[in-house]
């Protein structure tokens, strides 16, 4: 029996070491590619080697909102500050129980209209439509029955007038040049059907008239660790996937899409909470199966500022929802896994998200529990285990810091000495303690899945002022 246990622990230990080496290697490659790309982009910007022609792609900005009274006006205000000439704003109130619509009507003086909206995509019943103009930018407010974010976005697509639409969360704000930068890949390549932007936490940052006037880390430790996590994710991994047209996630907080392809692919799926990933994978599949030349791009310099949860309970709700959405998307489109007809999306992207996103919480929690059990049964060299874990944490923390400071350098933002020390001190805690705490949350997220698979959960919002 003891021999069997020894073999079991040896096998689990070997697998766990390979798993962590694989993830660390991917993270290293992603950070190197990400920082190199950002450095090159900064040099081109200094040399003015970029698209400067006065071209504008007509864009409809969709803002789905459910109980977003605290943030909706600030979000719309940031959209009105864009240095862009051809866009409209469509706010979809998805049956809010608070004063979301009233806040918009009071702030912008929209008037009721009987404008008909053609139901190209299936959606819930529309109740009222309000329209108006602010600084020559058309604003539409649509009140509808509650049907979820995906349903609200389908309503916005039906109401939109332009060939491209951009979706942004109602608790987020754009920098003054974000719209002009996220459309640039489309102007450079007609085959681009979707573009993701960089999402950054706004907690601790002061923004006025669409410009960052002070950048600092949040006072709350949980928010600080999420800042490091976001910069690592949006800087490194997404730039790497962009290199081989392998992006299968565009954040629902900030993404640009070609409307005709989205409609042809069937629009957003209202039966999933991961509508952003599901749509992007669906577009990959549609274009591959219909032999349509296409690219899905990532614009690292197009920045959207969003609130991150400041309470651990809210963070758990968010990550639970993300993991359920990932599970839904990957099971729905599981046929592309390993299928070379879908290119590197099926061979590389799907494999990465399967192992290091969907299965990762189960692997990591099982690995930690197995190591603890091995220590208790005296099957493990404790000093070696601690040394290995320390090396892994230090290596991952250094890569996180590299991604974080590279992002700051390339967009010319400065941190106070206290914030620098805070970032260095918290990076190890984020890689180890927060990561494993959220691994447990993600691992248990599918318990009772069929009863709550479309439940978003309520997250507390803070009033924000970016004017």
Under the banding of pLDDT at 50, 70 and 90, the label for residue 164 is very high
pLDDT digits (tens, 9 = 90+) for 16-54: 878 888 888 888 888 888 778 877 776 666 555 554 556
Higher-confidence residue: 21 or 267? 267
On the question of pLDDT at 462 being above 70, the answer is: no
On the CB side of 115, CA atoms within 13 Å amount to 17
What lies within 8 Å, CB to CB, of 178 at 6+ separation is 82, 197, 254, 302, 303, 304
What gap in Å lies between CA 218 and CA 204, rounded to an integer?
Answer: 4
Tell me the two tokens of residue 133: 């103009």
**DSSP code, position 124:** P
Which among 59-68, 384-393, 441-450, 458-467 has the top mean pLDDT?
A: 59-68
Within 10 Å of residue 219's Cβ, how many Cβ atoms? 11
Residue 334 is given by DSSP the state G
Tens digit of pLDDT for each residue in 388-436? 788 888 888 888 888 888 777 777 678 888 888 888 888 888 888 888 8
- Measured CA distances, 171 to 190, 196, 253, 305, 466 (Å): 31, 17, 9, 9, 12
The dihedral built from the CA positions of residue 172, 432, 456 and 313, taken in this order, carries a sign that is negative
Residue 252 above 70 pLDDT? Answer: yes
Tell me which residue of 353, 350, 345 sits closest to 242, measured CA to CA.
345
Tell me the percentage of the chain whose pLDDT exceeds 70: 91
Average the pLDDT over each of 5-19, 34-48, 129-143, 312-326 and give the range with the smallest value.
34-48
Domain 25-50+171-354 in CATH 3.30.70? The answer is no
Element (H, E) at 202: none
> So what's the pLDDT on residue 237?
79
What's the mean pLDDT in 88-117? 94
Distance CA 445, CA 274 (A): 13
Alpha carbon distance 273, 150 (integer Å):
8
Q: Which percentage of the chain shows pLDDT scores above 90?
A: 45
Most confident of 31-35, 148-152, 449-453: 148-152
Integer Cα distance of 381 and 9 in angstroms: 11
Cα atoms found within 13 Å of the Cα of residue 405, Cβ hemisphere only: 14
Could you give the count of Cα atoms lying within 13 Å of 273 in the half-sphere of its Cβ?
A: 21
Interval 73-83 mean pLDDT: 92
Average of per-residue pLDDT values in the chain = 86
Question: For the CA atoms of the chain, what is the radius of gyration?
Answer: 23
**Number of Cβ atoms within 10 Å of the Cβ of 157:** 23
Residue 294 has pLDDT above 80, yes or no: yes
pLDDT at residue 454, as a whole number: 55
| Segment 301-323 mean pLDDT | 90
Question: With b meaning 16 or more CB within 10 Å and e meaning fewer, what string describes 79-94?
Answer: bebbebeebbbbbbbb
Least confident of 185-199, 279-293, 355-369: 355-369
Q: Is 440 helix (H, G, I), strand (E, B) or coil?
A: helix
Give residue 323's pLDDT.
Answer: 92
Neighbours of 385 (CB within 10 A): 14
Burial of 293 (0-12, 13-18, 19+ CB in 10 A): exposed
Is residue 464 predicted with pLDDT exceeding 60? no
Please return the burial class of 105, using the count of CB atoms within 10 Å of its CB with bins 0-12, 13-18 and 19+.
middle
SS3 138: strand
Confidence band of 13 (pLDDT split at 50, 70, 90): confident
| Predicted pLDDT of residue 40 | 73
Q: Contact at 8 Å (CB) between 180 and 84?
A: yes
Q: What pLDDT was estimated at residue 29?
A: 86
List residues bridging with 141 in a β-sheet. 91, 130
pLDDT digits (tens, 9 = 90+) for 197-218: 988 888 888 888 888 888 888 8
pLDDT tier at 285 (50, 70, 90 boundaries)?
very high
Q: Is the pLDDT of residue 320 over 60?
A: yes
pLDDT of residue 48: 54
Helix (H) or strand (E) holding 147: none
Sorting pLDDT into bands at 50, 70 and 90, what band is 235? low
Cβ atoms of residues 175 and 303 within 8 Å: yes
How far is residue 289 from each of residues 283, 285, 294, 338, 365, measured CA to CA in Å?
10, 6, 12, 15, 38
């Amino acid at each position: 029996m003891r021999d069997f246990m020894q073999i079991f622990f040896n096998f689990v230990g070997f697998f766990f070491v390979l798993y962590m080496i694989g993830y660390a290697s991917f993270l290293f490659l992603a950070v190197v590619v990400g920082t190199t790309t950002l450095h090159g982009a900064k040099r081109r910007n200094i040399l003015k080697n970029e698209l400067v022609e006065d071209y504008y792609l007509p864009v409809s900005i969709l803002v789905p909102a459910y109980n977003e009274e605290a943030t909706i006006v600030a979000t719309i205000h940031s959209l009105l500050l864009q240095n862009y000439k051809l866009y409209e704003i469509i706010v979809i109130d998805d049956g809010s129980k608070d004063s979301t619509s009233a806040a918009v009507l009071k702030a912008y003086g929209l008037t009721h209209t009987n404008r008909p909206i053609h139901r190209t995509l299936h959606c819930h019943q529309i109740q009222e439509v309000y329209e108006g103009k602010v600084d020559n930018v058309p604003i539409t407010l649509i009140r509808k029955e509650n049907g979820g974010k995906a349903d609200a976005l389908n309503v916005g697509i039906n109401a939109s007038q332009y060939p491209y639409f951009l979706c942004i969360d109602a608790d987020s704000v754009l920098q003054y040049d974000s719209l002009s930068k996220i459309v640039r890949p489309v102007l450079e390549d007609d085959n681009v059907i979707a573009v993701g932007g960089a999402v950054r936490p706004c907690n601790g940052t002061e923004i006025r008239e669409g410009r960052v006037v002070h950048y600092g880390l949040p006072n709350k430790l949980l928010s600080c660790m999420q800042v490091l996590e976001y910069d690592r994710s949006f800087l490194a991994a997404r730039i790497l996937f962009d290199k081989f047209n392998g992006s299968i996630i565009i954040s629902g907080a900030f993404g640009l899409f070609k409307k005709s392809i989205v409609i042809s692919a069937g629009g957003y799926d209202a039966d999933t909470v991961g509508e952003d990933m599901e749509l992007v994978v669906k577009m990959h599949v549609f274009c591959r199966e219909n032999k349509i030349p296409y690219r899905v791009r990532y614009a690292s310099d197009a920045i959207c500022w969003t609130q991150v949860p400041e309470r651990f309970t809210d963070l758990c709700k968010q990550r639970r929802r993300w993991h359920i959405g990932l599970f839904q998307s990957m099971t729905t489109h599981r046929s592309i896994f390993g299928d070379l007809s879908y290119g590197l999306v099926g061979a590389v992207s799907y494999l990465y998200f399967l192992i290091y996103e969907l299965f990762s919480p189960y692997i990591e929690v099982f690995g930690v529990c197995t190591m603890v059990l091995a220590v208790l049964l005296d099957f493990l060299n404790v000093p070696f285990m601690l040394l290995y874990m320390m090396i892994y944490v230090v290596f991952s923390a250094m890569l996180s810091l590299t991604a974080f400071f590279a992002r700051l350098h390339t967009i010319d933002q400065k941190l106070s000495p206290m914030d620098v020390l805070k970032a260095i001190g918290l990076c190890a805690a984020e890689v180890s303690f927060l990561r494993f705490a959220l691994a447990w949350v993600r691992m248990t997220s599918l318990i009772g899945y069929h009863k709550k698979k479309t439940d978003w959960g309520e997250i507390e919002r803070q009033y924000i002022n970016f004017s």
